[in-house]
Amino acid sequence: MAAVPAAATGPLLDTPDTRTQMLAYVARRLALAVGTLLAAVLITFLLVHASDSSPGAVRLGPGATAEAVAAENEALGWNRPLYAQFLDYVGALFRGDLGTSLIDGRDIAADLADRLPVTASIAFLATLLSGVVGVLLGVTAAVRGGRLGKGITTGSGVALSLPAFWVGILLVYLISLQLGWLPATGYVDFSADPAAWLQSLLLPVLTLTVGGAAIVARTANAGMREALAQEHVRTLRAMGTPPWRIRYVHALRYASVPVVSTLGIQFIALFGGSVIIENLFALPGLGQASQAAATASDFPALVGVVVVATAVVVVINLLLDLLVAALDPKVRAA
Amino acid sequence: MSVLPLPGAEAAADEVATEPVPQARRRRGLPGFLRRPGGVFGAGWLVLVVVASLSAPLWRPYEPGQQDTANRLALPSAEHWLGTDPLGRDLLSRIFTAGALPLLASALMLVVAFGIGLPLALVAAERGRRVERVISRATEVFLALPATILLLAVIGVIGNRLYPVMAVMGVLISAAVYRVLLGVAQSVRQRLYVDAARVNGLGSLRVNLVHVLPSMATVVAVQAAQLFGIGLLVVAGLAFLGFGPGEPEPSWGFMIQDASGYIYNAPWLMVPTGLVLALTVVAANELADALAGRAAAPTVRRRRRPLRRAVQAVTPATPADPEAVLEVRDLTVSVDDGPDLVTGVSFSLRQGQVLGLVGESGCGKTMTARSLLGLLPDGVAVTGGSIRWQGRELAGLTEREIDRVRGREIAMISQEPMVALDPMFSIATQLVGPIRRFRGVGRKQARRIAAELLRNVGIVDAQRVLRSHPHQLSGGMAQRVCIALALTGEPRLLVADEPTTALDVTVQAEILSLLRALVRDTGLSVVLVSHDLGVVADICDTVAVMYAGEVVESGTAAAVLDAPAHPYTMALLGANPHVPEGEPVPERLASIAGTVPPPGSWPAGCRFASRCRFAEERCTAPFPALPAHDTGSVLCIRVDELSREHATWEPESAGDETHVQPTPTAGVPA
């Protein structure tokens, strides 16, 4: 072909190098992550100091005299200027030191390090299962439509409204008591017996998956419908692209961005919501620790749990942002 | 206790943000949600629970602490409608006595959340970019805090006091409220009437109260309903953990906790309380869905194309052009159980020629063009006539059959190149896939062909474009890529639906000359849909002028444009702002009064008669098309008289406001 007119002006819009864009994006997200973590420490720190109780009173218990409490507070450094205490705390935090419990003197960092894997495994497994089940249901609803689609939509609307602790009890009743398939409560360490570990987590994970899968299914359904209504789907059809390819390569890829975001949010929600599930299934995780610390007003433990939980959330958010940026070419530029 | 962020509410926000007439929507919206079953259930159950809970002391059959020791863990009976708990206390009385606290605490959380989130959103939307950034960053931090664990920390510090704790929850959740409402507030502000109000001197507060807030009502309602449900779950969850009213005070969460200890010997105990709590949260969410109007979203169901009614029956009335590659005869396109969109359309096209389909918007040009590829919208189908492509009938083919034609034999480029490409994939990926499919080559070879195709459509920097994603391309560049994509299957026919309408004028000319070069060099045939007679004169060999779903005049482009026989064609030419070189620019353009009648309201006779200057009584009766322009036709009963009288469609006399009348004027891009 000889005389094809070439594009005369501005072949491409000005776009800086993709790698620079990505780096700037990562830097922005990192700054936000650090800021969030510091904010969490500051908020809980101020909260604790705004309390009308004091660590001395907590440690000595209700029977202690005012003088004894005052002396104890003095010894704990409670009366030093706030900023000095805060800087000390942040400094210790960087060394991985979260202080000791007011109740039993245990090392909080070590205690939480033992508990973190329990909560993290529940949240991770539940997110994974929610993702698989939710995407299957949501995509089916969007692609098949009809009565099945309506059923899935309605069912997920109900499922995401159910209180997790109630669902948990129902599952214990059904699966442990009626069917006798799984132990109702208790936790087995992974290193002790991996199979029993998985078994001990299965019910809590299933419980959290009921609501989680429902939310993912909704997102996947809406995302797929939106994707299939896009103009570029018509281009694909006009090119004779096989329907499975349009649905499961192009539309699914389009819907993957909201689905991945939802999964990240789900993980964070499940992580926070684990308190209740750990209580119900007697699992020694972070949630149980935070419940115990709240009940006993164990201030250092409270701050420690918030710090660790926030750190997890922040890291997950960061990973999520990077994943979404990798999935969606437009996000990097935004 | 999952809290953030609320996908439903954001969807609702999107919906409202794109809703052009929020006022009308709102007025319809309030009774509207009660027309959906979910809305009726949601509102009904919530009202029932609220009334029953708040008035429980007046009607409850037993005092919540009253123990019936003979009747512990009883199943439902006439005395205890929902049974009794381990101490023999009446469940019905306890459930509804307990209801007031979560309902009120959740309401408090709402008040705090909106009390903070709403003003912040309004301020951020009003004060511009910098203020918005500061507030948004701060709320992002709040959103990232683990709400449940932070709440427990608050309880650890201030003690087990539900209302202050839920107020803190409201503060935490206000960040999510802000985020959703900000989007809505911004889009409302961008609408013209808000600016107009500001210009009229209304103060900031009044603008917000009078114009912005009412438009946000739906989103606020949707979000409030959803958050209310979340609040209930939070209160119950806290009580479940023992951070609620202590025994003997009843609370939903603790009653469920209590029941969990009796699932061995009294499983019924967990049912009533859990069910009331679950139903209440479901009701809140159903109400939110109904308010958002989401339940009404029709489930997409791609119905199998209805088999054509009369397709086989048609034998071309006029002998088919023996040289034609595409022969469309009496094509009818209709909405399922609805009106016809296109009727009796016939045209033919030879190899290496360009056919223009012209007419105003809403004349059925695009439907006709899309029916060639079987790409009609859901619920629209070819219901009669024939589309013969190289001797083969295309009308009535199944999806699977026509898929083999698409891309390989007939390809399409569309009006909006920027959205015609998949935003998620690089250009290379989008070209390599079809090239491999059509030409059976390997990945490497396909990439080479892709680069070559891009160069063939005039893209110099092919490698760079291959690496790009669609959002990095300009409109003209994207259209070139679309053309390259259409060429991957080496088609013999290109359907181009307004290929230059969305582009800058200079780019339009480039794309047209590219098309012309392709036709010249490859022998491609083109069906070009356009409302622009200048484009048609520029590139088309033959023309079919469409009006209200039918072809009113056809023939060679030169003949039709030089000596139009149909008044509608005359009118289009008179309204055309393109001026041949060397001729003086006319002072005013002609216009065509009125609009194209919508499908379903077409008269039996000439469909243009109501707008035609030459219409007479006999134009209202049906009549057949007459041959014209050698190979073409014209659909006008007065054609001979008009040609004898040398009728033309001149601009109206001076004083007419033709030149400033914005709509609806033919020749102006729709």
Query: Residue B587: pLDDT above 70?
Result: no
Per-residue pLDDT band for B350 (boundaries 50, 70, 90) equals: very high
Separation in Å, CA of A275 to nearest CA in chain B: 8
Q: Inspect the interface and report whether the beta carbons of B146 and A271 lie closer than 8 Å.
A: yes
The whole-number pLDDT of residue B202 equals 67
Per-residue pLDDT band for B358 (boundaries 50, 70, 90) equals: very high
Per-residue pLDDT band for B61 (boundaries 50, 70, 90) equals: confident
Separation in Å, CA of B359 to nearest CA in chain A: 23
How many residue pairs from chains A and B have C-beta atoms closer than 8 A? 317
CB B214 within 8 A of CB B31: no
Q: Inspect the interface and report whether the beta carbons of A5 and B510 lie closer than 8 Å.
A: yes
Q: Inspect the interface and report whether the beta carbons of A145 and B464 lie closer than 8 Å.
A: no
DSSP character string of B461-482: -HHHHHH--GGGB-HHHHHHHH
**H or E segment to which residue B110 belongs:** helix B91-127
Amino acid at the residue A285: G
Q: How confident is the model over B420-466, as pLDDT tens digits? A: 999 999 999 999 999 999 999 999 999 999 999 999 898 999 999 99
SS3 B658: helix
Separation in Å, CA of A198 to nearest CA in chain B: 23
Chain B positions touching A45 (Cβ under 8 A) are: none
Closest chain A residue to B284 measured between Cα atoms?
Answer: A161
The whole-number pLDDT of residue A321 equals 83
| Other Cβ atoms closer than 10 A to B625 | 20
CB B145 within 8 A of CB A310: yes
Q: Which of A30, A166, A171 has the highest number of chain B CBs within 10 A, making it the mutation to test binding with B?
A: A166
CA A314/CA A332 separation, integer angstroms? 19
| Beta bridge partners of residue B90, listed in sequence order | B84
Does the pTM surpass 0.90? The reply is no
The whole-number pLDDT of residue B580 equals 55
Query: Residue B378: pLDDT above 90?
Result: no
SS3 B88: coil
CA B658/CA B591 separation, integer angstroms? 6
Per-residue pLDDT band for B190 (boundaries 50, 70, 90) equals: confident
CB B383 within 8 A of CB B376: no
DSSP summary character for residue B611? G
CA A304/CA A40 separation, integer angstroms? 10
Q: Rounded mean pLDDT of B625-653? A: 78
Q: For the CA atoms of B358, B359, B360, B364, what is the dihedral angle to 10 degrees?
A: -90
- Please name the member of B153, B264, B457 whose beta carbon is closest to the beta carbon of A4: B457
List the structure tokens of B184.
């809505």
The whole-number pLDDT of residue B584 equals 61
- Among the residue ranges A291-300, B1-10, B382-391, the one predicted with the least confidence is B1-10
**H or E segment to which residue B109 belongs:** helix B91-127
The whole-number pLDDT of residue B199 equals 64
**B550-556 and B380-389 beta bridge pairing:** unpaired
Chain A positions touching B146 (Cβ under 8 A) are: 268, 271-272, 306, 309-310, 312-313
List the structure tokens of A170.
């129902």
Q: Inspect the interface and report whether the beta carbons of A145 and B301 lie closer than 8 Å.
A: yes
Separation in Å, CA of B352 to nearest CA in chain A: 15
Separation in Å, CA of A263 to nearest CA in chain B: 12
Separation in Å, CA of B504 to nearest CA in chain A: 11
CA B658/CA A35 separation, integer angstroms? 62
Chain A positions touching B278 (Cβ under 8 A) are: 161-163, 166
The whole-number pLDDT of residue B652 equals 60
| Other Cβ atoms closer than 10 A to B398 | 11
Q: How confident is the model over B66-80, as pLDDT tens digits? A: 888 888 888 888 888
Query: Residue B659: pLDDT above 60?
Result: no
Q: Which of B149, B479, B490, B500 has the highest number of chain A CBs within 10 A, making it the mutation to test binding with A?
A: B149
List the structure tokens of A105.
């003197």
Closest chain B residue to A326 measured between Cα atoms?
Answer: B424
Chain A positions touching B425 (Cβ under 8 A) are: 250, 253
Separation in Å, CA of A65 to nearest CA in chain B: 20
Secondary structure of chain A in HEC code, one letter for each residue? CCCCCCCCCCCECCCCCHHHHHHHHHHHHHHHHHHHHHHHHHHHHHHHHHCCCCHHHHHHCCCCCHHHHHHHHHHHCCCCCHHHHHHHHHHHHHCCCCCECCCCCCEHHHHHHHHHHHHHHHHHHHHHHHHHHHHHHHHHHHHHCHHHHHHHHHHHHHHCCCCHHHHHHHHHHHHHHHCCCCCCCCCCCCCCCHHHHHHHHHHHHHHHHHHHHHHHHHHHHHHHHHHHCCHHHHHHHHCCCCHHHHHHHHHHHHHHHHHHHHHHHHHHHHHHHHHHHHHHHCCCCHHHHHHHHHHHCCHHHHHHHHHHHHHHHHHHHHHHHHHHHHHCHHHHHC
Domains of chain B: 9-22+564-664 (no CATH), 37-62+86-293 (1.10.3720.10), 324-559 (3.40.50.300)
Segment A326-331 long-range contacts (CB within 8 Å, at least 24 positions apart) = A327/A253, A327/A256, A327/A257, A327/A260, A327/B424, A328/A257, A328/B424, A329/B423, A329/B424, A329/B426, A329/B469, A329/B471, A330/B423, A330/B469, A330/B471, A331/A25, A331/A257
Cα–Cα nearest to B407, from B368, B379, B380, B438: B438
CA B613/CA B638 separation, integer angstroms? 12
Tokens 């629209």 belong to which residue?
B380
- Please name the member of B274, B477, B510 whose beta carbon is closest to the beta carbon of A12: B477
CA A272/CA B18 separation, integer angstroms? 34
CA A46 to chain centre: 25
Query: Residue B569: pLDDT above 50?
Result: yes
Q: How confident is the model over B194-248, as pLDDT tens digits? A: 666 666 666 777 777 777 788 788 889 889 999 999 999 999 999 998 888 877 8
CB B480 within 8 A of CB B454: yes
Chain B positions touching A51 (Cβ under 8 A) are: 157-158
List the structure tokens of B91.
């469940």
CATH code for A6-21+109-333? Answer: 1.10.3720.10
Q: How far is CA B368 from CA A91, B204, B328, B371, B601, in A?
A: 73, 51, 10, 5, 19
Q: Inspect the interface and report whether the beta carbons of B300 and A145 lie closer than 8 Å.
A: yes
Q: Which of A161, A260, A274 has the highest number of chain B CBs within 10 A, making it the mutation to test binding with B?
A: A161
The whole-number pLDDT of residue B648 equals 76
CA B402/CA A244 separation, integer angstroms? 16
Q: Inspect the interface and report whether the beta carbons of A4 and B156 lie closer than 8 Å.
A: no
Amino acid at the residue B428: A
- Please name the member of B159, B229, B422 whose beta carbon is closest to the beta carbon of A250: B422
Q: Which residues are CB-neighbours of B231 under 8 A, at least 6 positions away?
A: B102, B105, B106, B107, B109, B110, B166, B169
The whole-number pLDDT of residue A316 equals 87
Chain B positions touching A266 (Cβ under 8 A) are: 2
Q: How far is CA B455 from CA B444, B447, B451, in A?
A: 17, 12, 6
Higher pLDDT, B660 or A232: A232
Q: Inspect the interface and report whether the beta carbons of A32 and B3 lie closer than 8 Å.
A: no
The whole-number pLDDT of residue B104 equals 95
Q: Rounded mean pLDDT of B2-31? A: 43
Q: How confident is the model over B85-142, as pLDDT tens digits? A: 888 888 899 999 999 999 999 999 999 999 999 999 988 888 878 888 889 888 888 8
Segment B192-199 long-range contacts (CB within 8 Å, at least 24 positions apart) = none
CB B393 within 8 A of CB B372: no
Chain B positions touching A39 (Cβ under 8 A) are: 141, 145
The whole-number pLDDT of residue B280 equals 94
CA B40/CA B375 separation, integer angstroms? 39
Cα–Cα nearest to B552, from B541, B562, B534, B564: B564
Cα–Cα nearest to B304, from B365, B374, B218: B374
The whole-number pLDDT of residue B264 equals 82
Q: How far is CA B125 from CA A210, B54, B117, B120, in A?
A: 38, 39, 12, 8
CA B260 to chain centre: 47
Separation in Å, CA of A297 to nearest CA in chain B: 4
Q: Inspect the interface and report whether the beta carbons of B152 and A9 lie closer than 8 Å.
A: no
CA B459/CA B480 separation, integer angstroms? 8
Q: Inspect the interface and report whether the beta carbons of A269 and B1 lie closer than 8 Å.
A: yes
Closest chain A residue to B495 measured between Cα atoms?
Answer: A238
Phi/psi for B493 (5° steps) reads -135, 135
List the structure tokens of B280.
């209440």
Chain A positions touching B476 (Cβ under 8 A) are: 7
Secondary structure of B209-220 in HEC code, one letter for each residue? HHHHHHHHHHHH
- Among the residue ranges B111-125, B355-369, B648-662, the one predicted with the least confidence is B648-662
Separation in Å, CA of B636 to nearest CA in chain A: 36
Q: Which of B424, B466, B515 has the highest number of chain A CBs within 10 A, making it the mutation to test binding with A?
A: B424
- Please name the member of B270, B419, B469 whose beta carbon is closest to the beta carbon of A232: B419
State in Å, rounded, how far the first CA of chain B is from the last one.
51
Q: Which of A4, A98, A152 has the highest number of chain B CBs within 10 A, making it the mutation to test binding with B?
A: A4
Query: Residue B558: pLDDT above 80?
Result: yes
Domain ranges of chain A: 6-21+109-333
**To the nearest whole number, what is the mean pLDDT of chain B?**
82
Separation in Å, CA of B435 to nearest CA in chain A: 10
- Please name the member of A5, A219, A276 whose beta carbon is closest to the beta carbon of B7: A219
Q: How far is CA B515 from CA A327, B489, B598, B655, in A?
A: 35, 16, 32, 42
Q: Inspect the interface and report whether the beta carbons of B152 and A13 lie closer than 8 Å.
A: no
Query: Residue B173: pLDDT above 70?
Result: yes
Query: Residue B6: pLDDT above 90?
Result: no
Q: Inspect the interface and report whether the beta carbons of A149 and B506 lie closer than 8 Å.
A: no
Chain A positions touching B522 (Cβ under 8 A) are: 1
Chain A positions touching B453 (Cβ under 8 A) are: none
Chain B positions touching A40 (Cβ under 8 A) are: 145, 150
Residues lower than pLDDT 50 in chain A: 1-3, 7-15, 334
